């Protein structure tokens, strides 16, 4: 019994050695291609940052005047049909105001108070009236106006399909250049997704008295939804 056991062990060891010497199959030749798909979308939402800046000899006086004007501005925005839950304060600053002269120490001349609200608009035809109403009520700074699309999921999927089509075309060109033909798609990975808003305009300071009596024209334009994909295609060598 002891000799039989040893013999079986030797046979098993030899079989394991043979198995370990098996060479794994060589993967089929393939082409790796990356591409981007882009789809234009029309914005249907907007956000506006509206600020009131006041100056006074002391901080309390500047804050009091600012509060009076900002209350009037918010009331004017509500007056053109914007509900209160779409208006929110995002920034409130109080800082000293210095006068700088050459070869002299800075001199405190008063204080500035800035109160900024953001208005979320779900109807683009209200952007112009909101700007006009706010400026007419005393707002003197429009620090940002941005447009965006609220639902980009359909556009994202269309961009994916366009990216795959572009990748296929590039892969076919590569296969022909190499003397072969393109086989089926083996892998595809969706990468980064971009739906950036347009950059905000530079900070604008506008006095209410200088506001034109006509309506402010607004053109939201279009935005680009972009998706990156990585693909791997089977390459069929020529004969």
pLDDT digits 0-9 by tens, 73-90: 999 999 999 999 999 999
Backbone angles phi, psi at 176, to 5 degrees: -65, -40
Q: With 90 as the cut, is the pLDDT of residue 113 above it?
A: yes
Per DSSP, helices labelled H in the chain are 2-20, 59-79, 127-137, 153-177
pTM of the model: 0.68
Q: How many residues does the chain have?
A: 239
According to DSSP, the β-strands at 223-236 and 30-41 are antiparallel
Please compute the mean of the pLDDT values over residues 127-156 and round it to a whole number.
Answer: 92
**What does the pLDDT read at residue 194?**
75
**CA–CA distances in Å: residue 153 to residues 43, 167, 192, 195, 225:** 13, 21, 14, 10, 10
Q: Radius of gyration over alpha carbons of the chain, in Å?
A: 33
Mean pLDDT of 54-64: 96
CA angle 158, 160, 161 (to 5 degrees): 65
As beta bridge partners, residue 11 has none
How high is the pLDDT of residue 193?
A: 77
Mean pLDDT, range 193-219, rounded to an integer: 55
Residue 127 has pLDDT above 70, yes or no: yes
Tell me the mean pLDDT in the region 5-10: 36
> Between residues 25 and 71, which one has the greater pLDDT?
71
**Residue with the larger pLDDT of the pair 218 and 198:** 218
């Amino acid at each position: 019994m002891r000799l039989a056991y040893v013999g079986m062990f030797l046979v098993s060891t030899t079989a394991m050695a043979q198995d370990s010497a098996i060479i794994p199959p060589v993967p089929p030749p393939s082409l790796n291609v990356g591409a981007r798909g882009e789809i234009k979308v029309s914005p249907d939402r907007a956000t506006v940052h509206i600020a009131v800046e006041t100056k006074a000899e002391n901080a309390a006086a500047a804050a009091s005047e600012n509060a009076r004007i900002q209350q009037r501005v918010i009331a004017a925005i509500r007056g053109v049909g914007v509900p209160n839950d779409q208006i929110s304060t995002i920034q409130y600053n109080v800082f000293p105001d210095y006068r700088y002269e050459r070869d002299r120490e800075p001199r405190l001349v008063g204080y500035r108070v800035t109160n900024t609200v953001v208005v979320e608009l779900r109807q683009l035809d209200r952007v112009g009236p909101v700007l006009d109403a706010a400026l007419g009520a005393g707002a003197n700074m429009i620090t940002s106006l941005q447009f965006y699309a609220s639902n980009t999921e359909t556009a994202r999927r269309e961009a994916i399909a366009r990216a795959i089509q572009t990748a296929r075309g590039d892969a076919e060109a590569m296969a022909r250049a190499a003397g072969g033909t393109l086989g089926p798609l083996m892998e595809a990975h969706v990468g980064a997704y971009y739906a950036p808003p347009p950059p905000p305009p530079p900070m604008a300071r506008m006095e209410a008295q200088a506001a034109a009596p006509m309506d402010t024209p607004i053109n939201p334009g279009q935005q680009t939804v972009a998706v990156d994909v990585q693909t791997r295609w089977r390459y069929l060598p020529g004969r």
